[in-house]
Structure 1
Amino acid sequence: ADSWTVMVYMDGDNNVESYALRDLEELKLTGSSDNVNYVVLLDTLEGPANLLYVNEGTTTIVEAWGEVAMDDPATLTEFIDTVEGLYPATNYCLDIWDHGGGIAGICWDDTSGMSQCLTMAELRTALVDADCVFDSIVLNACVMAQAEVAHQVNGYADYVVFSQQNMYALGFPYDLVAENLNAEPTMDGRALSLMMVEEYTVYYQSIGYKDVTISVFDMACLGALADAVKNFASAQIAVMSTYQKGFKFARMDTESPSNAADIIGYAENVIASEKISDQNVKNAAQAVIYAVDAAIIAEWHSDDVEGMNGLGIWFPTKSVTYYWGAIYEARYRALTWDAATGWANFLDAYYAK
């Protein structure tokens, strides 16, 4: 078997099509090597989807897939199964490339006509059905760096690379990522994930973009994080009637792209709050900080987003967002994260007037 097979699920069947093609061109600058395979399922607005093998300067159509729904978990499962069968390797990386919406989902496919996406539940279904454990899963999409998202891929990834903020459509510098991996194909999932964050950081620093975040989550730390958050949620619920206002102020001062509060930021604000004097809550908050610090093994944010520490949690400032049409509440309670932490029960208590 080869050292690595990198599978890129590239959903360009929407308004980021031109950037998908640009990233494919970057990958072609380096291409596959004797030990490393780059295989892309590319779906565009205009044409049908093709399964492509990327070589230096060229792509070969391995299979013509016709028009596919990239927002259908069965498509992702078939992609993983097919590539694993054709290009077996010691290590696997899955890069899901498209729009992201945090716990709402990933991969909006405009041609399938439903303006639907791959929900978090469907992402897990796809991974369970494919039954391939990835050394690294890269979510090249907006606002995916949330504890809930990491939990949905539990058991199918050793490391997850994702961003708290929006990701620019330019994505990763894939030519450099491929060059590094080809030069050192013995690297493991941890090394690949760290290298991708390093290249992303250098690239966006060099062009001076704002609002940039990127982080790596070590899935071995997921259970401890879930336990810490569960305790933190329970501790807050127990004293909610006394300290609700303190929690609200702590939340208001926390960075929160797309309704996901920076976990460390919120916990630090709870600890620092003079409105909250319950030591049990503050100890629980400190335990959460330690757990996030252990799980996020690399993180970079541009100077303008100082309050970002690499991982968020769903925590809208307004209850109306959470209860809107019962959609988010129902979706949230369907997440594996909620079963492990009871965070939705905390949100219910927090929003209670």
Structure 2
Amino acid sequence: MRFFPLLAILLLLASCDKDDDVRTLPAKDLTYIVYMAADNSLSGNVESNLRGIEAGLRAMDVTINTVAFVDVGDGGAQLVSFTRDDGGSVTREVIGEYGDVDAVDPDFMADVIAGVAARYPSQHYVLDLWSHGMGWLPASAPSLPFGRWFGQDGQHFMDIRDLRSALAATGLHFDFLMFDACLMATVEVAYELRGVADYIVASPIEVWEMGFPYNSIMPALQSRHPEIAVAEAYAGYYDGVYSPAYGIEMTGAISVIDCAALDSLAGVTRRQLADVAPVYDETFVDELLRYDRYTYHYLYDFGDYMTRLLGADGAAPVIGALGQALPFRYATDSFGYGSQTIYLDADRYTGLGSYVPRQSYTAWNEYYKTLQWFEDIQLLPIY
């Protein structure tokens, strides 16, 4: 199923002509950086994604700066540039070597990204964060040993607050962030990062290990509204059709989050929750639309959560603000297979994840209180 909120429809109608949809960019006026923290179980997918980037560059009408930081854990991390000549041929060159590093160390990440920007100055920057991801969870969650936010480097993980600090330390403001990582389209993550980018393109559910379809993602960067075009390219790839190559249905979800609309969403949510008492009902979360497939559930649909908590009338202002914050959202009807399938009900799915505080999750709740979203909203425990 596809979801096209009004803003996305208007953007698409305005860009039906292919020539009109291509931005007029001076040469090298866009720098695309993919930061691949791949010293983990995803390392085997790095090369296929790099080849996808090459294929995508060959299909582009404009020339952009394209740089990949790659750490697969053996032989040391590298910085790789991609250059396309006038004939459309793309060459890959190692322009930096780092040795054995912790790719999810905030200071190291900031230095790498700032260094790329200094070497390839541009008016526009897009940052693609490639690794494992688990939304807002802390880097070490006692109840869930593999809990982390974004990025796994061996046994090191990155905290969402540290990512915000790292990106802020680069001195850059990104046109948009892309997360080729699972479960990153959450209200907590987006709110934490709203000051470093105009948009965030991410999935509220898991991303299959083959990752983003870079052969179509790269040409999307030259569109007038590249954040929408990138999400559309993802939606066109994970379209629910069975893939003989992978032996699965290509299912998934993707959202575009407008960071400028998040303060308004927070304000509306805070006002609507002001007079709501705690709900001590152990069945409350069982009825919510769930995004994760883990034993300890921690991600639910934000709009569905607000509707169940506030009622349809009380949640209406929140749902309205949420629609303004998500100019594009897409999801197939389900994700996964067998007993691990989650079903994304079209009538309840809004495209943004949220934690539902629960009294039994004491360690997570303490960490959650340190996030900017909680500080501004003050959500109450459910049970």
Report TM bin, short chain. 0.7 to 0.9
Whole-angstrom distance in 2 between the partners of 1:59 and 1:68: 22
Give the residue type in structure 1 aligned to 2:135: G
Whole-angstrom distance in 2 between the partners of 1:7 and 1:303: 32
Whole-angstrom distance in 1 between the partners of 2:36 and 2:333: 30
Whole-angstrom distance in 1 between the partners of 2:55 and 2:47: 13
Percent of aligned positions that are identical:
26
Give the residue type in structure 1 aligned to 2:213: P
For residue 210 of structure 1, report the CA deviation from its aligned partner: 5.9
Whole-angstrom distance in 2 between the partners of 1:340 and 1:233: 12
Does the CA contact (< 8 Å) of 2:240 and 2:332 recur in 1?
A: no
TM-score of the pair, normalised by structure 1 = 0.84
Higher helix share: 1
Residue 289 of structure 1 is aligned with which of 319, 322, 328?
A: 319
For residue 244 of structure 1, report the CA deviation from its aligned partner: 4.2
3-state DSSP of counterpart to 1:50:
strand
Does the CA contact (< 8 Å) of 1:262 and 1:312 recur in 2?
A: yes
Whole-angstrom distance in 2 between the partners of 1:127 and 1:52: 20
Worse-superposed segment, 228-237 or 214-223: 228-237
Residue 150 of structure 2 is aligned with which of 106, 111, 117?
A: 106
For residue 35 of structure 1, report the CA deviation from its aligned partner: 3.4
Deviations 1:197-239 (A, max 9, x none): 11111111164436511100011111011112222332223xx
3-state DSSP of counterpart to 2:156:
coil
Residue 233 of structure 2 is aligned with which of 199, 205, 209?
A: 199
Deviations 1:106-162 (A, max 9, x none): 10111xxxx221101110110121121000101111111111100111211100011
TM-score of the pair, normalised by structure 2 = 0.78
| Map of 2:288 onto structure 1 | 254
Give the alignment of 1:77-226 within 5 angstroms: 77-104=110-137, 105-110=149-154, 115-181=155-221, 184=222, 187=223, 191-205=225-239, 207-208=241-242, 209=249, 212-226=252-266
3-state DSSP of counterpart to 2:257:
strand
Whole-angstrom distance in 1 between the partners of 2:47 and 2:250: 24
Whole-angstrom distance in 1 between the partners of 2:211 and 2:168: 27
Whole-angstrom distance in 2 between the partners of 1:297 and 1:148: 18
Residue 43 of structure 1 is aligned with which of 66, 71, 82?
A: 71
3-state DSSP of counterpart to 1:139:
strand
Does the CA contact (< 8 Å) of 2:192 and 2:372 recur in 1?
A: yes
For residue 335 of structure 1, report the CA deviation from its aligned partner: 1.1
| Map of 2:331 onto structure 1 | 301
Worse-superposed segment, 48-57 or 18-27: 48-57
Question: In the superposition, relative to structure 1, how do residues 222 and 335 fare at CA in structure 2: closer, same or farther (>3 Å)?
Answer: same
Give the residue type in structure 2 aligned to 1:47: G
Does the CA contact (< 8 Å) of 2:220 and 2:233 recur in 1?
A: no
Whole-angstrom distance in 1 between the partners of 2:219 and 2:195: 29
Whole-angstrom distance in 2 between the partners of 1:3 and 1:283: 47
Whole-angstrom distance in 2 between the partners of 1:87 and 1:161: 23
For residue 22 of structure 1, report the CA deviation from its aligned partner: 1.2
Whole-angstrom distance in 1 between the partners of 2:172 and 2:188: 20
Whole-angstrom distance in 2 between the partners of 1:5 and 1:206: 32
For residue 57 of structure 1, report the CA deviation from its aligned partner: 4.1
Give the alignment of 1:65-80 within 5 angstroms: 65-80=98-113
3-state DSSP of counterpart to 2:46:
helix
Deviations 1:299-348 (A, max 9, x none): 111012224321011115x532x21xx2x2232111111222112xx12x
Query: Considering only aligned residues, what root-mean-square deviation do their CA atoms show, in Å?
Result: 2.0
Worse-superposed segment, 9-18 or 201-210: 201-210
Following TM superposition, where does structure 1 have runs of at least 4 consecutive aligned residues deviating by more than 6 angstroms? none
Give the residue type in structure 2 aligned to 1:156: V
Does the CA contact (< 8 Å) of 1:267 and 1:286 recur in 2?
A: no
Whole-angstrom distance in 2 between the partners of 1:128 and 1:31: 28
| Map of 1:6 onto structure 2 | 32
Q: Is 1:25 paired with 2:51?
A: yes
3-state DSSP of counterpart to 1:65:
strand
Does the CA contact (< 8 Å) of 2:135 and 2:185 recur in 1?
A: yes
Does the CA contact (< 8 Å) of 1:213 and 1:308 recur in 2?
A: no
Whole-angstrom distance in 2 between the partners of 1:334 and 1:162: 23
| Map of 1:15 onto structure 2 | 41
